[in-house]
Amino acid sequence: PMKRQRILALLIALLVVTVTWVAGCAEARPTATPVPRVAEAVPTAVPSVTPLPSATPSPSATASPSATPSPTITPTPLPPQPPRLLSRSPERGEEHRSDAPLVFRFDQEMDTDSVERAFSIEPDVAGNLSWDDQRTMLFTPGRRGFRRDSEYRVTIDVAAQSKHKMPLARPVAFRFRTVGLLEVTDVFPLPDSEGVSSRSVIRVIFNRPVVPLTYIEDQAGLPDPLEFSPPVRGQGSWTNTSIYTFEPRDPLLPGAKYTVRVLAGLEDTTGGELVEAYVWSFVTELPDIVSVTPRHKAQYVSPRTSIKVTFNQGMKQGTTQALFGVATEDGSPVPGTFSWTKNVMVFHPSRELESGVTYHVWLEKGAPSATGEAAIEKDYAWRFSVAALPRILATSPRDGQTGVDSTKGIKITFTSPISRATVSEGLFITPTTEFYSYGRASNTQIEVYARLKPSTWYTVTLTEDILDQFARPLQEGMAIHFETRPYEPMAELDVPGRVGTYNAYAEPPVYVRYLNVSDVELALYTLSPEEFIGLHGEDSWRKWEEYRGNPRNLVRRWTESVAAPLNATRSISVTLTAAQGAPLDPGLYYLEVTSPATTFVNRHVLVLSDTNLTLKCATTELLVWATDLRDGTPVSQVQVSIYDGKGVRVGEARTDGNGVALAEIPELGLWEPLIVLARRGGGMTAVLRNWTRGISP
């Protein structure tokens, strides 16, 4: 209870202070609040006791802003604006139905009488003006409507006024065209076409919708607009609202002229009529041969083949068979039987056809169609050849041939297409080696590739286990003997690339690999800095292919005699020296290696130096660190020159006491060449930005 009394007292005190503060604020305002009077009986100037706030007039009684009435805002009305046409029907470019009203919608209420007086249409059309409301006017044509496929001009001049008597901002004037008549735009088969398939459909395309969009099964009540002469039984349907397709139940008569009529009076969905009947004709195809198997001049035909003749339509089978024949070149007829599958006649010979024989096939003119209405009008004749029994016609290499290139493979030509699956069962190579084969020329040529050794006699044996594609065995086996030739002579440098760096403190060796040669010829040239830059700058591949040593810069030309077993590769180490065995000065060199037994020249650029250069490039800065190749100590006072791929010097610097040279360079592309040449005393060394061999991660 004590706690509750203390809280209550605190709240009352807080309320008194708050009310007193509000009252004080109210007394400080220039309001009509009464000022307390000073009691005259008190001799001092102390004011009388201020009444309690509850007795003081409430601040709400003062003229505070919240009690001041808010002013009423009265908007100033805008003056009347000239009326405008918001929309119309038809819109620009829209065809208008002949019985539909013209609709005009304004942006405000209009004086209907003035608008109607200002309205005109040319050519003149009987009709009525009406209003849905004071903003929307309609012109409805009379019973006859607008003329179809006609152009009209509508005008509402500026005499038309709004309800406030403001004239139109600008006159209304536009043209529109009414919906045209129904027309046929396309047909199939095309008019006057000939050779039309007897299985063809007949299709008509109109210029506008004739029927509503509906499912095919719901088309029972839709118009059937076609008539045929001669009559055609079948089923028609509307593919869409403007395409009608008729499918004959039976094949059309062969070689017959059909006339199709689209009946006049057919109406589209807008009531437009087909004024005149549309009539066209086409002629169906005569019976004819579409294809034959085997085809004309076919080779390597199976002896068990049947002969197929495909016609473009059904044929009278008995008569057609009687006009068909097969015979050998000497005129001997081939007996057999017939079968039919729709339009395909198949002749089955009574026995296998003779191998390697050419057969003649014919069909005389007059073979009638199934209806008997027409017949084939010309004779047909073709021929084909049956594959001969499998024999070997030729081989490469030939039996007994020497000096055979071991990389060219073995080629065997047969008289009949060979089953590749049986080659591995009937072909043997001695000495034994792995091989694979593939076929060419309809598999009448088999190419065999094997790992043949040089300077070796081989025997290739072909047995009767090799079959042709008709399961007939090779008629006679064969063995082919040949000797492969030695490997091609070779002499080449065994170096890691086009350019290498070599230690000038030691006599520089190079290694040469050779094969089937007895002499290795070498030529050493000095290389100028300009030549070195050109061989490593832009277009370096072309320049390298074209470059040869300058005779004026020849240092030494000599021959090394070598020996090795036939077809065995060996290497020799050659120490590069000047004439008379003198050591080479540090610098840039070019080396050529060849042999009298070969035309190929192997080439190499050498950087012979007593200084190693380490290169580090940034976008526009370059650091070179020069160290001695003998003891690895930094080398100072090395003059460094930097060149771009065009051979232009783009920077230079000199190494300091730490062997470091820093230089600013222009920004170059990531793959653009950057060549650094350094001169130490009379010697020259080099480093390229794209040298990464041995340092790549």
HEC sequence for 446-505: EEEEECCCCCCEEEEEECCCCEECCCCECCCCEEEEEEECCCCCEEEECCCCCEEEEECC
Q: Indicate whether 38 pLDDT > 70.
A: no
Instruction: Judge whether 287 and 374 are in contact, CB under 8 Å.
Output: yes
pLDDT at position 78 is: 76
Residue-wise pLDDT for 201-212, tens only, equals: 999 999 989 999
3-state secondary structure of 185: strand
Residue 128 CA: distances (Å) to CA of 89, 97, 105, 106, 173: 16, 16, 17, 19, 19
3-state secondary structure of 430: strand
Any idea which of 20-24, 259-263, 274-278 has the lowest mean pLDDT?
20-24
Per the DSSP assignment, residues forming a β-bridge with 587 are 608
Q: Indicate whether 163 pLDDT > 80.
A: yes
pLDDT at position 448 is: 96
Longest dimension (CA), the chain: 169
pLDDT at position 46 is: 35
CATH fold, domain 392-484, is Immunoglobulin-like (2.60.40)
Distance of CA 157 to the CA centre of its chain: 58
Q: Tell which wins on pLDDT, 3 or 91.
A: 91
> What is the CATH number assigned to the segment(s) 289-386?
2.60.40.3710
Residue-wise pLDDT for 57-89, tens only, equals: 444 444 444 455 666 677 777 788 999 999 999
pLDDT at position 69 is: 61
In the chain, pLDDT over 90 holds for what percent of residues?
79
- Architecture field, domain 85-178: Sandwich (2.60)
- Architecture field, domain 184-284: Sandwich (2.60)
Residue-wise pLDDT for 394-434, tens only, equals: 999 999 999 999 999 999 999 999 999 999 999 999 999 99
- When pLDDT is cut at 50, 70 and 90, the band that residue 102 belongs to is very high
Tell me the domain boundaries of the chain: 2-30+39-62, 85-178, 184-284, 289-386, 392-484, 490-605, 610-688
pLDDT at position 258 is: 95
pLDDT at position 304 is: 96
pLDDT at position 13 is: 52
Rounded to an integer, what distance in angstroms lies between the CA atom of residue 261 and that of residue 247? 15
Q: Indicate whether 503 pLDDT > 60.
A: yes
Residue-wise pLDDT for 39-55, tens only, equals: 333 333 333 333 434 43
- Architecture field, domain 490-605: Sandwich (2.60)
pLDDT at position 485 is: 97
Nearest to 540 by CA among 675, 668, 676: 675
pLDDT at position 229 is: 95
Q: Looking at 95-134, which runs of residues are DSSP E strands?
A: 95-96, 102-106, 119-122, 127-133
Answer yes or no: same fold for 85-178 and 610-688: yes
Per-chain mean pLDDT for the chain: 89
Q: Tell which wins on pLDDT, 214 or 155.
A: 155
pLDDT at position 26 is: 39
What is the average pLDDT across 501-522? 95
What is the average pLDDT across 328-345? 96
- Burial of residue 444, with CB atoms counted within 10 A of its CB: 0-12 exposed, 13-18 middle, 19 or more buried: buried
Q: Tell which wins on pLDDT, 658 or 144.
A: 658
Rounded to an integer, what distance in angstroms lies between the CA atom of residue 501 and that of residue 609? 7
CATH fold, domain 610-688, is Immunoglobulin-like (2.60.40)
Kindly give, in sequence order, each residue whose CB lies less than 8 Å from that of residue 380, ignoring residues fewer than 6 positions away.
Answer: 289, 292, 362, 363
Residue-wise pLDDT for 366-375, tens only, equals: 999 998 889 9
Q: Indicate whether 671 pLDDT > 90.
A: no
Q: Determine if the pTM surpasses 0.75.
A: no
* Other residues' Cβ atoms within 10 Å of the Cβ of residue 207: 15
pLDDT at position 697 is: 44
Residue-wise pLDDT for 634-661, tens only, equals: 999 999 999 999 999 999 999 999 999 9
